[in-house]
Structure 1
Amino acid sequence: DYEDKYPEDPIYEETAPTARVWRTYLNESQKFDADRVGDWRETVDVLLVFAGLFSAVVSAFAVQFSQNLQPDYNQISAYLLFELVSIQQAISNGTSANPPLSSAVNPTANFTPATSIVWVNGLWFTSLSLSLSAALISVLVKQWLHHYVILPSGTPRERSRIRQYRYMGLHKWQVPLIIGLLPMLMHLALAFFFVGLVVFL
């Protein structure tokens, strides 16, 4: 009970800088903030770890598969080498050489990747972007929460006012809503990745 915990204020000093009302407010707000910010921190920590691991997995897939967006120069080199050997064999045997290279193995021909390859790359890079965005926002939220709970030194009235301004700012900037949307961002990233995986398979 605050009446037992804090001594009664002298008359006409109920709102003085060290009055009981400010100390009670700080005590109650610290309890409120400890529960609420603790829950938010746990949520953000879990999301941050998951986003980091998921981003690593998606980036490994995306980097390997994005190579399919350009011609396979190793395969073209093998075809060209085969053609060269075939021509040399034809010349040594005195027979006519094979017709010139088709555009499929011509390194100067325009290369167009398959539509499924373009879609898979688009889906996976979108997934990676969403996952990295969730990680970035999680780090920002952790910084906001860290600065929110640390109050500077001063009188109880000054600290109460600062805490109230920060509380109002937290809601003005929609931080609870942002924290609530972070899991949705990761769900979208997972959905894009799995759709890309289905198209890939």
Structure 2
Amino acid sequence: MSEKEGSEPNNSRSKTRTDNPEDDTAAAKLWQVYVSEAEKYDKGLVESWKSDMEGMLIFAGLFSASLTAFLVESYKTLVPDSGDTTVLLLSQISGQLAAVANGTAFSFVQPPQFMPPASALICNTLWFISLGLSLACALVATLLEQWAQDFLHKAEMRSAPVIRARVFSYLYYGLRRFKMHTVVEVVPLLLHASLLFFFAGLVAFLLPINIVITAAATVILTTVVLVYATLTLLPFFHPDCPYRTPLSGGFWQLLRVLQTLLRHHPVSMVFPRDKAMVDSVFRQATKPSDERSSRDGKALVWTLKSLTDDLKLEPFIDAIPDVLWRTSERCWQYDGHIHHLIENPGSDLLGQIQGFQQGCNSDVIPTEVAKHLKISCYKAIWALGSLYPRKANTNPAAIPTRVR
């Protein structure tokens, strides 16, 4: 057994491997916490899948209908034109009549075997591939909606917390084991590939008609491909970039494989350090840097501006002493951010604390609650005073204890 799963218990504890209903009943509250968190996560995940698939189905249906109309027209270029055949037959009949009238022999000319032009073959091939990919996208999206609904149905069939917890865990790790997350990412990839094949086929369709229109379609196709490639590779260089395509994750894993294969060969290519793209996002977001400090400051200013009522402002004020002081020593990490909150006219931390304190004098607030809120304000003001060493009392014994 792996280290993650743990080693086998000794003989004195081997009996714990046997299910005991009484033990499960006693652990019901523990498992209820897991069920509550897992239910929120799994429902959010599955509902996002379902909404994505609904959008894919609508677009794939409309696109397939439009593409079918193009195929009805382009398919005619793969078979002999009935009009040309009629003209050829009439020409032969006219020649025979002329030969009979002149008393000459009529020589029958075998019509050339029909060969569809190369542009027609390319166009129809690309469009039929596009239609197949679009229908495959719709099929997989439909199946994913059914699988997602089935997942939620199975997870909610039992009400006992222990059973629900184990069913949630069993089904979720089944999703992980059979790579359902990957299947979800493949669906938009099918649709994107279908669109690219359609645009390429459109260029081939227009080529024998008009060179100007063909050039315009080629420019559009080239632009789409370049933009798509840019969106695919942009997250590699800027992890905070919100743009990505279904191919981004695949290219990331491909580079990881190349890194493994070339680990003993010195190359100048830069490989990703993280196992997944999301890991790179987390690492860059939490790495100590001036950019992170700037983001933290902006986030705190925005938070204070968004607290429009006292009910939301109270937790923020209550947290200020903990930010600047530990139990027995001063904390310095957030001094710059707190200074900015005080000096920034848009946030005006001291002004907001003063307004909050004055609001505590309202007759609507119970006396004990008002007392607690005022104490929170006094603590925050005292902690803010420690930002100015000449006026602050830095004696740890003078740090007010928190009101429980």
Distance 1:17 1:137, change over 3 A: farther
Offset of residue 170 of structure 1: 0.9
The residue aligned with 1:111 is: 114
The residue aligned with 1:156 is: 161
Offset of residue 72 of structure 1: 1.8
Q: Deviations over 1:29-65 (max 9, x none)?
A: 1211222222211211111111111111212222331
Residue 58 (str. 1) matches residue 70 (str. 2): no
The residue aligned with 1:31 is: 40
Which deviates further from its counterpart, 17-26 or 64-73?
17-26
Q: How far apart, CA to CA, are the structure 2 residues paired with 1:72 and 1:115?
A: 16
Residue 129 (str. 1) matches residue 132 (str. 2): yes
The residue aligned with 1:180 is: 185
The residue aligned with 1:6 is: none
Question: For the Cα contact (< 8 Å) 1:17–1:157, is it kept in 2?
Answer: no
Distance 1:164 1:82, change over 3 A: same
The residue aligned with 2:144 is: 141
Offset of residue 87 of structure 1: 2.7
The residue aligned with 2:258 is: none
Q: TM-score, normalised by structure 1?
A: 0.81
Question: For the Cα contact (< 8 Å) 1:86–1:97, is it kept in 2?
Answer: no
Which deviates further from its counterpart, 161-170 or 28-37?
28-37
Coordinate RMSD, CA, aligned? 2.1
The residue aligned with 2:52 is: 43
Which deviates further from its counterpart, 68-77 or 112-121?
68-77
- Output the amino acid matched with 2:76: Q
SS in 2 for 1:100: coil
Q: Deviations over 1:73-102 (max 9, x none)?
A: 33202320232134324534x364765335
Residue 101 (str. 1) matches residue 109 (str. 2): yes
Q: How far apart, CA to CA, are the structure 1 residues paired with 2:73 and 2:174?
A: 44
Distance 1:156 1:18, change over 3 A: farther
The answer to which structure has the higher helix fraction is 1
Distance 1:55 1:17, change over 3 A: farther
Q: Which has the higher contact order (CA 8 A, sep 6+)?
A: 1
Q: Deviations over 1:81-130 (max 9, x none)?
A: 232134324534x36476533523xxxxx322111111111100111111
The residue aligned with 1:3 is: none
Out of 81, 88, 94, the position equivalent to 1:85 is 94
Q: How far apart, CA to CA, are the structure 2 residues paired with 1:33 and 1:17?
A: 25
Offset of residue 198 of structure 1: 0.6
Q: How far apart, CA to CA, are the structure 2 residues paired with 1:75 and 1:113?
A: 14
Question: For the Cα contact (< 8 Å) 2:74–2:205, is it kept in 1?
Answer: no
Q: How far apart, CA to CA, are the structure 1 residues paired with 2:95 and 2:184?
A: 65
Q: Which has the larger radius of gyration?
A: 2
Q: How far apart, CA to CA, are the structure 1 residues paired with 2:126 and 2:178?
A: 31
Q: Once the two structures are aligned, what percentage of the paired residues are identical? A: 34
Out of 176, 197, 204, the position equivalent to 1:199 is 204
SS in 1 for 2:25: coil
Out of 165, 169, 175, the position equivalent to 2:174 is 169
Give 5+ residue unaligned stretches, structure 2.
1-21, 207-404
Q: How far apart, CA to CA, are the structure 2 residues paired with 1:194 and 1:43?
A: 24
The residue aligned with 1:9 is: none
- Output the amino acid matched with 2:185: G
Question: How many residues get paired?
Answer: 183
SS in 1 for 2:124: helix
